[in-house]
């Protein structure tokens, strides 16, 4: 039987993976590290944000390595989510839970990112604004879930990515992402305490 070769399918999937991993993933890690500077107090945090924002061409960089990849990834990712059909009610395997949670977290992450960007990038980004937002329980919940989901997504997909490279399961890298979740959670508790 002849196969009808759709030569781009494989490529699109792999590019989608890479988009998730390289620009988005690196950005996420960068972003998290940046956020950790909030531990150094309001002044340090505001100064760093200011430095970031006054980089020449920062907008182009953001567009090229952050916005466009995320948008492409999210649109195609949503299609991929649609082509799956969870059966968690019948097969209650741990990995099957991850499968569904990673898809939910992906979708939630889009919402989160849109609102987050709307509020901070185009609004006023400083320590006080964030602190105010996070001091409302709902705001905190929204953020905590957003970050945990974003990181969870990333962690899960990274494992998936290793699988695509031919490694079977847990990798030291995925372990380190767990540590990352720990860091972010701590950060929130800290932020809230301030």
Partner 1 sequence: MAEQKTIHFKIRRQDGPDKPSRWEEFDIPYREKLNVISCLMEIQKNPVTSAGQKTTPVVWECNCLEEVCGACTMNINGQGKQACSALIDQLAQPIVLEPLTKFPLVRDLMVDRQIMFENLKKVHAWIPIDGTYNLGSGPRMPEVKRQWAYELSKCMTCGCCMEACPQVNYRSKFIGPAAISQVRLFNAHPTGEMNKHERLEPLLDEGGIADCGNSQNCVRACPKDIPLTTNIADLNRETNKFALDRWLRK
Q: How far is the CB of 1 from ligand HEM (least distance, A)?
A: 26
Q: Residue 66 to residues 6, 80, 101, 117, 151: CA-CA distances in angstroms?
A: 29, 21, 24, 11, 16
- Given the structure tokens 């701590």, which residue do they identify? 186
Contact between 23 and ligand HEM per CB under 6 A: no
Contacting partner 1 (CB under 8 A), which of 51, 83, 137, 138? 83
Contact between 160 and partner 1 per CB under 8 A: yes
Nearest Cα neighbor of 120 from 109, 131, 110 is 131
The smaller minimum CB distance to partner 1, of residues 43 and 169, is found at 169
Q: Residue 31 to residues 13, 23, 34, 93: CA-CA distances in angstroms?
A: 26, 12, 5, 33
CA distance 72 to 78: 10
Contacting partner 1 (CB under 8 A), which of 1, 138, 179, 193? 1
Q: Residue 113 to residues 73, 77, 116, 120, 159: CA-CA distances in angstroms?
A: 13, 15, 5, 10, 22
Q: How far is the CB of 175 from ligand HEM (least distance, A)?
A: 16
Residues in contact with ligand HEM by CB under 6 A are 13, 16-17, 20-21, 24-25, 28, 73-74, 77-78, 80-81, 106-107, 109-110, 150, 153-154, 157-158, 160-161
> Which residues bind to partner 1, rule: CB under 8 A?
1, 3-7, 9-11, 13-14, 80, 82-87, 89-91, 93, 95-96, 98-100, 159-160, 163-169
């Amino acid at each position: 039987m002849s196969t009808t070769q759709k030569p781009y399918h494989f490529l699109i999937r792999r590019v989608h993976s890479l988009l998730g991993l390289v620009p988005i993933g690196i950005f996420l890690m960068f972003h998290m590290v940046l956020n950790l500077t909030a531990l150094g107090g309001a002044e340090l945090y505001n100064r760093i944000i200011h430095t970031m924002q006054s980089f020449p061409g920062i907008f182009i960089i953001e567009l090229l390595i952050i916005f466009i990849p995320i948008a492409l990834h999210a649109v195609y990712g949503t299609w991929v989510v649609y082509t799956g059909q969870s059966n968690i009610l019948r097969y209650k395997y741990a990995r099957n839970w991850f499968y569904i949670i990673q898809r939910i977290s992906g979708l939630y992450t889009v919402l989160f990112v849109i609102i987050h960007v709307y509020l901070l990038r185009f609004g006023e980004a400083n320590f006080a604004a964030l602190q105010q937002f996070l001091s409302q329980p709902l705001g905190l919940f929204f953020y905590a879930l957003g970050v945990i989901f974003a990181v969870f997504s990333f962690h899960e997909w990274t494992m998936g990515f290793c699988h695509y490279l031919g490694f079977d399961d847990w990798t030291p890298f995925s372990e380190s992402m767990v540590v990352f979740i720990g860091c972010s959670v701590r950060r929130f508790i800290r932020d809230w305490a301030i």
